[in-house]
């Protein structure tokens, strides 16, 4: 029988690219959970298949509505659940802390509690990937390499919400035997990356400047951060491989994994690399105080040893290609007449 996959956060960069991967690499049926008013920009390449019911469909629900989550689980009964939905913007979380905590913590609890109740009712037993974040480590010390045992340090309402998400994934696995695993993904990017994230807003601004919609000045926030980058398309491959090992019983319930790129950049180096792909040589960079966070995660370097001991995986897409693809994505959007906000 063909297996079913449920993806929460279906309309996001990672959710939509995970759907692309699964449709291309497996014979699974894919169900994407979304709220009815969410933008469809990242799904236009799939709308034909969705309309024709070719192995992919949409289920409208909201993480904050337990009855909708319970109905979705009962009707879909997926073999695999990739829980990617979240309020995922750290800087935005300072402005909407309650919504961030509600969606990411209580929303995750709604999903996991719905799974627990259905498991007790009739043996429902899916593999559940809970997507946490490298932001759980917060403000790491310069030179510190982050592994799965590194102490958490909430540096934003978002990071605190993901600490709660992380613990929920572990708890429901350990307490109720639900086949959960938790990933703490470092900075990931590439095509479809939201423009609220650093490298994407820089790429978007370059594309706007090239098209004549912005003066040749890139506005940025804190540039003192050092972090690794990986392409989200590499990350979804790791998600899939971990889910397969969990299905086979090779991943203990509630296990946690770092997953990050292995190329480290200072943020000014990211700007220089993106600018190297442009024919414009008059672009300047200015700090915009409105783009600064009250607290920032300035240093994020990760140890991928654990995940590599469970799956045969390593990042394959060069970061230079990832950044180039991201810039080309914004160029293509603008050519289509989709002029984005300057934020």
* Tens digit of each residue's pLDDT, the chain (343 residues): 899 999 999 999 999 999 999 999 999 999 999 998 888 888 898 999 999 999 999 999 999 999 999 999 999 999 999 999 999 888 889 999 999 999 999 999 999 999 999 999 999 999 999 999 999 998 777 777 889 999 998 889 999 999 999 999 999 999 999 999 999 998 899 999 988 888 999 999 999 999 999 999 999 987 877 888 999 999 999 999 999 999 999 999 999 999 988 888 889 999 999 999 999 999 999 987 776 555 555 667 788 999 999 999 998 999 999 999 999 999 999 999 988 877 7
Give the pLDDT confidence score for residue 294 in this predicted structure: 58
Backbone angles phi, psi at 188, to 5 degrees: -130, 145
Q: Which of 230, 223, 254, 220 is nearest to 318 (CA)?
A: 230
- In angstroms, rounded to a whole number, what is the distance separating the alpha carbons of residues 300 and 311? 23
Give the pLDDT confidence score for residue 222 in this predicted structure: 78
- In angstroms, rounded to a whole number, what is the distance separating the alpha carbons of residues 156 and 159? 5
| CATH fold group of domain 4-189+231-259 | Rossmann fold (3.40.50)
**Cβ–Cβ < 8 Å for 166, 207:** no
Give the pLDDT confidence score for residue 29 in this predicted structure: 98
Q: Which of 169, 171, 318 is nearest to 257 (CA)?
A: 169
Q: Where in the chain is the domain with CATH 3.90.25.10?
A: 198-226+262-298+317-335
How is residue 184 annotated by DSSP?
E
User: Quick check: helix, strand or coil at residue 311?
Assistant: coil
Give the pLDDT confidence score for residue 295 in this predicted structure: 53
Q: In what order do the strands lie in the sheet with 4-8?
A: 56-60, 29-34, 4-8, 80-83, 127-131, 179-185, 255-259
Q: Which CATH class is domain 198-226+262-298+317-335?
A: alpha beta
Q: Where in the chain is the domain with CATH 3.40.50.720?
A: 4-189+231-259
Q: What is each CA distance from 335 to 89, 194, 208, 278, 330, in whole angstroms?
A: 26, 18, 10, 16, 9
């Amino acid at each position: 029988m063909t297996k079913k996959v449920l993806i929460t956060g279906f309309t996001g960069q990672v959710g939509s690219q995970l759907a692309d991967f699964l449709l291309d690499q497996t014979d699974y049926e894919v169900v994407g959970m979304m709220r009815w008013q969410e933008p469809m920009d990242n799904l236009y390449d799939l709308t034909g298949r969705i309309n024709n019911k070719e192995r992919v469909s949409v289920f409208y629900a909201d993480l904050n509505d337990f009855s909708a989550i319970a109905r979705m689980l009962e009707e879909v009964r997926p073999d695999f659940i990739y829980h990617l939905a979240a309020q995922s913007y750290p800087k935005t979380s300072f402005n909407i802390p309650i919504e961030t905590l509600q969606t990411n913590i209580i929303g995750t609890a709604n999903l996991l509690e719905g799974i627990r109740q259905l498991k007790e009712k009739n043996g429902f037993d899916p593999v559940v990937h809970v997507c946490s974040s490298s932001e759980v480590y917060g403000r790491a010390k310069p030179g510190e390499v982050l592994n799965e045992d590194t102490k958490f340090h909430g540096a934003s309402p978002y990071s605190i919400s993901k600490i709660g998400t992380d613990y929920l994934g572990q708890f429901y696995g350990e307490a109720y035997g639900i086949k959960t695993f938790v990933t703490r993904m470092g900075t990931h990017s590439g095509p479809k990356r939201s423009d609220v994230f650093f490298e994407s807003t820089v790429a978007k601004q370059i594309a706007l400047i090239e098209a004549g919609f912005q003066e040749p000045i890139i506005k940025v926030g804190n540039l003192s951060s050092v972090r690794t980058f990986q392409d989200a398309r590499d990350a979804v491959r790791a998600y899939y491989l971990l889910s397969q090992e969990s299905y086979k019983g090779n991943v203990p319930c509630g296990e946690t994994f770092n997953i990050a790129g292995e190329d480290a950049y200072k943020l000014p180096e990211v700007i220089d690399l993106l600018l190297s792909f442009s024919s414009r040589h008059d672009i300047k960079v200015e700090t915009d105080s409105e783009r600064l966070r009250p607290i920032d995660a300035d240093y994020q370097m990760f140890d991928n040893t654990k995940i590599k001991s469970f799956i045969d995986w390593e990042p394959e897409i060069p970061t230079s290609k990832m950044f180039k693809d991201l810039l080309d994505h914004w160029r293509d959007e603008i050519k289509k007449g989709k002029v984005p906000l300057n934020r």
